[in-house]
Amino acid sequence: MGEIVNLRTAKKQAARKAARSEADASAAKHGRTKAERELEKARAHKATRELDGHKLETE
């Protein structure tokens, strides 16, 4: 005979597995790591500082 399986639990596990795989695919497509976000923020800040440094003061 086969193993006795609680269908409610099996359905929940299957739903979790499907949701996890969908979330992983979405994260791979759209997500960035924290390090990538901080690097982009630091580069933008540096570019802003350099641009402000090159501006001429008109007074």
**40: Cβ contacts below 8 Å, ≥ 6 apart:** 32
pLDDT in tens, 6-53: 999 999 999 999 999 999 999 888 888 889 989 999 999 999 999 998
Q: Is residue 11 part of a domain?
A: yes
Q: How many domains does the chain have?
A: 1
pLDDT confidence of residue 32: 85
Q: Identify whether 47 is part of a domain.
A: yes
Let me know if residue 34 belongs to a domain: yes
Give residue 20's pLDDT: 96
Q: What is the pLDDT of residue 53?
A: 87
Specify if 59 maps to a domain. no
Q: What pLDDT, on the 0 to 100 scale, is given for residue 9?
A: 96
Residue 12 resides in a domain: yes
- 25-47 burial, b at 16+ Cβ within 10 Å, e below that, comes to eeeeeeeeeeeeeeeeeeeeeee
pTM: 0.49
59, pLDDT greater than 80: no
